[in-house]
């Protein structure tokens, strides 16, 4: 059964590049000494204006400040949608370099494979004092396909080049590769990362954010959330114990995880299942967080056959462990948790604004008076989309 709530919300029911910061290393963050092996829970947050109205970062930074105790200063970041109006038809490649000298080989690679219409350093405020920041650069590009690459879609072509850079070129990573969106992330608390990137200079119709408390992976600039590929971005709270299986399966289809954090596979899973395979989110939710075999056996013949086929076909993409994610793509945002909600999500509405958060308190810090607050069921996605008129404007149609 599908329940529809107002304004395009759908609730589906019953269906440091050099390794400076390594695991166990104690890192000075401000006046405190933090240890990245402490155990706690990360914080995630997302806001969309469904009419397409663009707003500055202060709203989401305020929400993240409210969840400060969910992080320990070893990672935070933001994804912003609708910020590159002048270049919205081009892929915006956000990159981090070990040092400026790395840029020459990146430039040579991009000139061979893309039309580069503009490039620039990503503005940062070094006075914020975040530890060991790499060099940040962005390029606005369109594919320049040759030979056998002509058979690829533009999206698959961009992915292939992003994977080449991340696996073959030393000292550089692509952390964002979508159109009219960008990811900004690093080592620090959310408010410090926002100040470092001067995010209040940007406007977007949708923002997602993360504060990190690393448990099994190092706190470093590339390993902060969000993770992205093409227009997709993912912020995640939890542990993915199926990471090895998920990672090896995705490698068969050209997706390579190189950023030393389990969450990276989630961005690739959503791209593979929803863009490449064309599956809707209610079906994807049944792959990542499936019903048990006992539940499947109790279904009628048609439902049992459908869910059995999903489990057999996409078994390596089942996501084990406690987890909650907020996923965004141009025009859409959704939240999803594991089936028994071992990591929390709360959603709310106020006028044209839709919120997803680890905590209701963070939502009320931004919008004290809400029209509606509700908690999604485990394994059941909550989806919000831009209004049709706003979506056409965002996509340039």
Q: Write down the pLDDT at residue 226.
A: 97
Q: Helix crossing, 281-288 with 301-313: angle to 10°? A: 70
DSSP 204: B
Residue among 372, 366, 353 at smallest CA distance from 48? 353
> Which parts of the chain fold into alpha helices (H)?
58-66, 103-113, 154-168, 190-196, 243-251, 264-270, 281-288, 293-297, 301-313, 360-366, 388-395
Contacts of 106 (CB under 8 A, 6+ apart): 95, 97, 137, 165, 169, 172
Specify the CATH number for the domain of residue 30: 3.60.20.10
Tokens, residue 183: 């990811």
Q: Which residues pair with 334 in a beta bridge?
A: 327, 383
Helix (H, G, I), strand (E, B) or coil at 212: coil
Q: Regarding beta strands 323-329 and 232-238, do their DSSP bridges make them parallel or antiparallel, or are they unpaired?
A: antiparallel
Tokens, residue 241: 């114990």
**What residues make up the domain containing 14?**
2-395
| Cα(345)–Cα(45) distance, integer angstroms | 9
DSSP for 47-70, written as a single string: EEETT---B-THHHHHHHHHTGGG
pTM of this prediction?
0.89
Q: Identify whether 351 is a catalytic site residue.
A: no
Q: Are 323 and 342 in contact (CB under 8 A)?
A: yes
Q: Which helix (H) or strand (E) holds 238?
A: strand 232-238
Q: Write down the pLDDT at residue 40.
A: 46
| Cα(230)–Cα(328) distance, integer angstroms | 11
Contacts of 286 (CB under 8 A, 6+ apart): 15, 307, 310, 379
Residue among 61, 48, 40, 119 at smallest CA distance from 333? 48
Helix (H, G, I), strand (E, B) or coil at 141: strand
| Cα(30)–Cα(37) distance, integer angstroms | 18
CA torsion sign, 120 to 125 to 130 to 132? positive
Q: Count CB-CB contacts under 10 A for residue 275.
A: 18
| Tens digit of each residue's pLDDT, the chain (397 residues) | 333 334 444 443 333 343 333 333 333 334 444 444 444 479 999 999 999 999 999 999 999 999 999 998 889 999 999 999 999 999 999 999 988 889 999 999 999 999 999 999 999 999 999 999 999 999 999 999 999 899 999 999 999 999 999 999 999 999 999 999 999 999 999 999 999 999 999 999 999 999 988 777 778 899 999 999 999 999 999 999 999 999 999 999 999 999 889 999 999 999 999 999 999 999 999 999 999 999 999 999 999 999 999 999 999 999 999 999 999 999 999 999 999 999 999 999 999 999 999 999 999 999 999 999 999 999 999 999 999 888 877 776 5
The count of structural domains within the chain is 1
Q: Which entry of 42, 279, 287, 366 is annotated as an active-site residue? A: 42
| Cα(44)–Cα(33) distance, integer angstroms | 23
């Amino acid at each position: 059964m599908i329940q529809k709530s107002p304004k395009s919300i759908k609730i589906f029911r019953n269906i440091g590049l050099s390794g400076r910061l390594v695991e166990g290393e104690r890192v000075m963050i401000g006046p405190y000494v933090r240890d990245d092996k402490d155990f706690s829970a990360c914080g995630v947050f997302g806001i969309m204006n469904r009419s397409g109205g663009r707003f500055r970062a202060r709203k989401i930074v305020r929400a993240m400040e409210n969840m400060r105790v969910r992080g320990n200063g070893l990672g935070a970041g933001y994804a912003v949608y609708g910020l590159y109006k002048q270049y919205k038809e081009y892929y915006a490649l956000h990159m981090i370099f070990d040092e400026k000298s790395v840029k020459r080989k990146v430039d040579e690679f991009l000139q061979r494979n893309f039309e580069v219409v503009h490039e620039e350093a990503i503005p940062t405020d070094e006075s914020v004092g975040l530890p060991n920041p790499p060099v940040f650069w962005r390029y606005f590009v369109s594919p320049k396909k040759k030979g056998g690459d002509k058979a690829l879609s533009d999206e698959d072509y961009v992915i292939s080049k992003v994977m080449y850079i991340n696996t073959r070129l030393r000292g550089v990573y692509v952390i964002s590769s979508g159109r009219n969106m960008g990811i900004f992330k690093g080592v620090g608390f959310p408010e410090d990362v926002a100040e470092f990137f001067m995010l209040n200079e940007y406007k977007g119709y949708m923002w997602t954010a993360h504060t990190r408390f690393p448990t099994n992976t190092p706190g470093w600039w590339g390993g902060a959330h969000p993770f992205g590929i093409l227009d997709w971005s993912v912020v995640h709270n939890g542990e993915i114990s199926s990471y090895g299986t998920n990672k090896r399966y995705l490698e068969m289809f050209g997706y390579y995880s190189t950023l030393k954090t389990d969450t990276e596979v989630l961005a690739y899973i959503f791209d593979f299942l929803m863009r490449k395979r064309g599956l809707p989110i209610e079906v994807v939710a049944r792959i990542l967080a499936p019903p048990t075999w006992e539940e499947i056996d109790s279904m009628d013949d048609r439902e049992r056959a459908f869910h059995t086929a999903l489990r057999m076909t996409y078994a390596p993409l089942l996501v084990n462990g406690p987890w909650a994610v907020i996923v965004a793509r141009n025009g859409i945002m959704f939240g999803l948790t594991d089936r028994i909600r071992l990591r929390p999500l709360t959603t709310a509405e106020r006028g044209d604004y839709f919120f997803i958060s680890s905590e209701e308190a963070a939502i009320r810090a931004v919008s004290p008076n809400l029209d509606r607050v509700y908690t999604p069921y485990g394994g059941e996605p909550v989806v919000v989309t831009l209004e049709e008129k706003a979506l056409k404007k965002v996509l340039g149609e």
